[in-house]
């Protein structure tokens, strides 16, 4: 079986160096179509750099990324219209209204019937009352809803999320999670979610990849991680990994399961 053609995303021995320092250090994993995977790690673990290489925004120092069968970044033109990204840290042009912002991005993604798509998203995500308000005049929760609308404009098959509920109150964060769950379920989208919110990851994700210093430290389902580390929450598991207390509990590399969509290669200990 050709895993590059059957997996939505393939990452193989991926390395990114900045002035000789490895931001991402030989990681490998594959994402099955329709899956939702959490990418955990502290600041500087390499999560955002990994997502940027999957998007084709950063060229790897070595290794390979394939998205929907296209090599990134060389062939990103083949698949960018089938992907999207959301992060509260990426601001939209503040002087443009919400409607104008969505219209510009819809044109970039070659969305057909732009007015109808914006109207649908406005209804689904409750944007109506501020659709014609400048983006710079929105509250944090409103900005998050607009960012989510932007990310869903082209009905992406691959949705990359970087801290999608950061700085939100619990009610708004829960609202965003419900919309993400609904979209993934109804569209069979493949979702990679980078987050520090362990409750969010436990609720949304079928699989969790934990990174530390650019390497994959563990990779399993939330239930198996909790069982193996002997904890009741992912936060406790994360702290064990971050502080080096769980070395003996890591799952062994599954190199003998290369045809399994959830298999992960052993983290490289050398800069390639």
Q: What is the pLDDT of residue 198?
A: 86
pLDDT at 269 exceeding the cut of 90:
no
- By the 8 A CB rule, do 247 and 38 touch? no
Helices (H), the chain: 3-6, 47-55, 98-108, 114-124, 140-152, 170-187, 198-204, 222-229, 234-242
What tokens were used for 54? Answer: 């999957």
Per-residue model confidence as pLDDT tens digits over 49-76? 999 999 999 999 999 999 999 999 999 9
Question: Which residue segments constitute the domains of the chain, with CATH numbers given?
Answer: 34-54+79-250 (3.40.50.300)
Cβ-based neighbour number of residue 244 at 10 Å: 9
pLDDT at 26 exceeding the cut of 70:
yes
pLDDT at 191 exceeding the cut of 90:
yes
Per-residue model confidence as pLDDT tens digits over 4-24? 568 999 999 999 999 999 999
**What are the phi and psi torsion angles at 106 (to 5°)?**
-65, -40
Q: Is the dihedral of CA 204, 205, 208, 212 positive or negative?
A: negative
Q: Tell me the CB-side half-sphere exposure of residue 265, using CA atoms within 13 A.
A: 15
Please report where in the chains the tokens 């997502």 appear, as a residue: 51
Stated pTM of the model: 0.85
């Amino acid at each position: 079986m050709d895993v590059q053609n059957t997996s939505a995303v393939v990452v193989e021995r991926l390395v990114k160096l900045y002035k000789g320092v490895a931001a991402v250090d030989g990681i490998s994993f594959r994402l099955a179509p329709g899956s939702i995977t959490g990418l955990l790690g502290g600041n500087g673990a390499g999560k955002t750099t990994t997502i940027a290489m999957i998007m084709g925004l950063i060229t790897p120092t070595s290794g390979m990324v394939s998205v929907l069968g296209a090599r990134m970044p060389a062939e990103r033109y083949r698949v960018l219209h089938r992907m999207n990204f959301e992060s509260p840290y990426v601001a939209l042009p503040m002087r443009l209204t919400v409607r104008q912002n969505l219209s510009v991005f819809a044109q970039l993604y070659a969305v057909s019937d732009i007015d109808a798509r914006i109207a649908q998203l406005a209804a689904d995500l409750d944007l109506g009352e501020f659709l014609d308000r400048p983006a710079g005049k929105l509250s944090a929760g409103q900005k998050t809803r607009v960012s989510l609308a932007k990310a869903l404009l082209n009905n992406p098959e691959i949705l990359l999320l970087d801290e999608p509920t950061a700085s939100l109150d619990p009610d708004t964060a829960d609202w965003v999670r419900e919309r993400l769950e609904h979209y993934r379920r109804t569209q069979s989208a493949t979702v990679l979610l980078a987050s520090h919110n362990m409750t969010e990851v436990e609720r949304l994700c079928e699989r969790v990849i934990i990174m530390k210093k650019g390497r994959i430290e563990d990779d399993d389902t939330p239930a198996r991680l909790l069982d193996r580390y002997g904890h009741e929450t992912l936060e406790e598991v994360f702290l064990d990994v971050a502080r080096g207390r769980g070395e003996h509990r890591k799952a062994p590399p599954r190199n003998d399961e290369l045809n399994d969509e959830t298999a992960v290669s052993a983290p490289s200990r050398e800069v390639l």
